[in-house]
Amino acid sequence: MQRMFARSFALVAMAGLAASASAQVSSGPGTGPGFTDDPITLPTPPSEEVRISVDSGLVTADPAGGDGQVVFVTMVHVTDAPWLRLAFDEALLAGDPANDNASRLRITSLRDGAVQHLNAENVRQWSNTSAYFNGDSVIVELIASPGTGPSRLVMSKVTAGLDSFSDRSICQTVDDRVLSYDDRHARHTVGCSSWVINDLNSMFLTAGHCGTSGSHVMQFKVPLSTSSGSWVNPAPEHQYVVDGTSTQGQNNGVGQDWGYFGVSVNSNTGLTPYQAYGVRNTLATSIPAVAGSNIRITGYGTTSSPVPNQWNQVQKTHVGPMKSKSGTSLGYHTDTTGGNSGSCVLYDNQDTAIGIHTHGGCTTSPSSYNNGTQITYGPLQTALANPAGVCRTGKGTPGGDLFASGDAANNFGTVSKSTGAFAKVGEITGVTQGLAWDWNRNLFYVIDSTRKLYTMTTGGSRQLLGTVTGTSSTINCLAFDPVSRTLYGVIASGGQLVKINRDTLAVTTIGVPGGGNVGALDFDTSTGTLYGISDPTVGGSRLVRINTANGSQSTVGVLGSGISDCNGLGYAASTDELYTINASNEQVLRVSKGTGAATVVGSTNGLFGASYGLAGASPKPCPADFDGSGFADFEDYHVFVQMFEAGSIDADIDGTGFVDLEDFDAFVQVFELGC
């Protein structure tokens, strides 16, 4: 029997436990390759696993209530813990994560009020864990809406922080590091440092011995530690979970120790670190000479007296001279300690990254040095050229007239109609919900999860029009009728068709909700038909025709067995066919307009989830045809003049975002050419 509402408290007293000391990997004083390593022990945040018992049972929202009901709440408390991280044995969250009525978790720290939101897709990305929360207590709420089905939350353990320790391994007798605030560098929660690079999707490098996996978290804007040296965590919007399918690396000692990986977009903001902070490290193509080269190491090393405990494993930086480059290793007289493993070895003279810091080695001797792996190391370069997971998505050569926006790295680009490969052209900062092509203006409309509407060229240049008004719900997909110049969208949770006024950005509903779960939409310009894909709870994805007068839907057919997660639809006039991407396996599908049956084109070689947009970008058959008659005459001239005098967005035929005499000149040019 399902419970409509549940309330629980998980209170756990923490026993006093001592933290064990850890040390940075040591190579001895400037020994380089061929030495015998000390056992690698990372200065991970001292913690213990505490048993708890939380089970919401199957809970559903009250059918008579509104969206966003709290159907279960629990408090997790571990006495005097400096921080907590939750683990979910089961997080059954009903509904499509692309919809704003989908079930979700809301986790709130009672220490500082920091909040993390997790839907079903986010929980998978975070490997059934949460962000790190400050303090010894968090409130966990399960939020659901009517009609989405039952949800359940089960937890049997929580990771709780302990007081920290000290570690010291610097060059000579004084720790010369100073606090720094460089958003190119992250605290890697396994007890390392990592940094953003200028690869395809602006992802990360670190040390191989950090053993990066899908449960690790990258933290930016890290606050000072407590007076006892315990970590203080940044807000969840500055924490990013590792994509476990992306990790590559080696741990073979000095000069052969490296890790390459990517992260998922932040579950609160929908942004990658580079999109959030706008900075990254540039990888060098060669290693400079030793003489005169200054090396900066920025990272999250431990501290010891007389350095204050508040500086423990927060970002610090120091510059020292390069001492050695031998084989594939580097040596530098720059201060580091445990926790600096994985830091960027920055050639400070030119602000370029030449290596990855991996091993200690400095002593009081001025000839000693710390060690790292050269950025030019062959296996590392091979990995960079052959990325995996989120690092790979969008890799390819752009081309063709089918476009997608909103892979796992928020990329915009082309989809091959022959192979399915997705190739990055640009980025859109935010989670894409819909994409539509306007052949009158030769640009796309893009809408994100916050209802911000953009225009975007086929080259990836975008311009914000504003936020769509008239609804508080997510608009999950877009389509554009180039003849009537109408921009359509669907509120997927009820299948409500809407029109979006591109001048005022106001929404008008069309008819009554058509039902289903329509998250994909496009306009067939050859027949004037609006198509959609509905992903119902049972029965698999199906192609539907949507009546633009009243919003009603008629089923064309089911796409096929096992196809149930298609969140974009694109019509390509060049082949007169519909296309979609099955997010469950990243396959591009060709969809029959007559039967709805889908055939596999190939893999995107990328990652597409619950939210993305797809659209064809066919050229306008007659550029001067402004009245939709199919040919050019003086009626088209009169229609354009009316648009121009009204300042309508449709008169912006040069795509600048405003209407001026340049648009009039552009119309005259196409009008003189005729059809």
Ordered domains of the chain (ranges, CATH): 6-161 (2.60.120), 178-385 (2.40.10.10), 393-616 (2.120.10.30), 634-673 (no CATH)
The predicted model scores a pTM of: 0.89
**DSSP 8-state assignment for residue 570:** E
Please choose, from the candidates 345, 400, 406, the residue with its C-alpha nearest in 3D space to the C-alpha of residue 371: 345
Residue 633 Cα distances to 489, 636, 642, 647, 663, angstroms: 32, 6, 15, 22, 18
Cis bond upstream, residue 306 (ω within 30):
yes
The least confident of 398-402, 436-440, 643-647 is 643-647
Mean pLDDT of 342-363: 96
* CB proximity list for 260: less than 8 A, separation 6 or greater: 203, 204, 205, 246, 247, 248, 249, 380, 383, 384, 387, 391
Q: Could you tell me if 333 and 320 are in contact, meaning their C-beta atoms sit under 8 angstroms apart?
A: yes
Of residues 198 and 17, more confidently modeled:
198
| C-alpha–C-alpha distance, residues 10 and 89, integer Å | 15
| C-alpha–C-alpha distance, residues 238 and 220, integer Å | 5
| Residue 138 scores a pLDDT above 50 | yes
Q: Could you tell me if 570 and 522 are in contact, meaning their C-beta atoms sit under 8 angstroms apart?
A: yes
Q: Which residues pair with 241 in a beta bridge?
A: 217
Residue 642 Cα distances to 307, 506, 648, angstroms: 72, 21, 9
Can you tell me whether residue 667 is helix, strand or coil?
A: helix
Q: Which residues pair with 86 in a beta bridge?
A: 158
Instruction: Give me the residue label for tokens 């969208």.
Output: 489
Dmax (CA) for the chain in angstroms is 87
The pLDDT tens digits for 438-477 are 998 899 999 999 999 999 999 999 999 999 999 999 999 9
Q: Which residues pair with 463 in a beta bridge?
A: 455
- The pLDDT, as a whole number, for residue 480 is 97
Q: Which residues pair with 520 in a beta bridge?
A: 533
**DSSP 8-state assignment for residue 14:** P
Q: Could you tell me if 553 and 515 are in contact, meaning their C-beta atoms sit under 8 angstroms apart?
A: yes
Written as one letter, the residue type at 670 is: V
Cβ neighbours, 10 Å, residue 39: 7
| C-alpha–C-alpha distance, residues 532 and 514, integer Å | 11
| C-alpha–C-alpha distance, residues 661 and 675, integer Å | 23
Dihedral sign (CA 162, 166, 169, 171): positive
C-alpha 233: how far from chain center? 20
Query: Residue 169 — very low, low, confident or very high, per pLDDT cuts 50/70/90?
Result: low
Q: Could you tell me if 447 and 466 are in contact, meaning their C-beta atoms sit under 8 angstroms apart?
A: no
| C-alpha–C-alpha distance, residues 230 and 170, integer Å | 21
| Residue 189 scores a pLDDT above 70 | yes
Query: Residue 143 — very low, low, confident or very high, per pLDDT cuts 50/70/90?
Result: very high
The least confident of 176-190, 569-583, 616-630 is 616-630
Query: Residue 572 — very low, low, confident or very high, per pLDDT cuts 50/70/90?
Result: very high
Query: Residue 163 — very low, low, confident or very high, per pLDDT cuts 50/70/90?
Result: low
Dihedral sign (CA 504, 510, 513, 518): negative
Mean pLDDT of 614-643: 83
* H-helix segments, 86-149: 120-125
Mean pLDDT of 111-133: 96
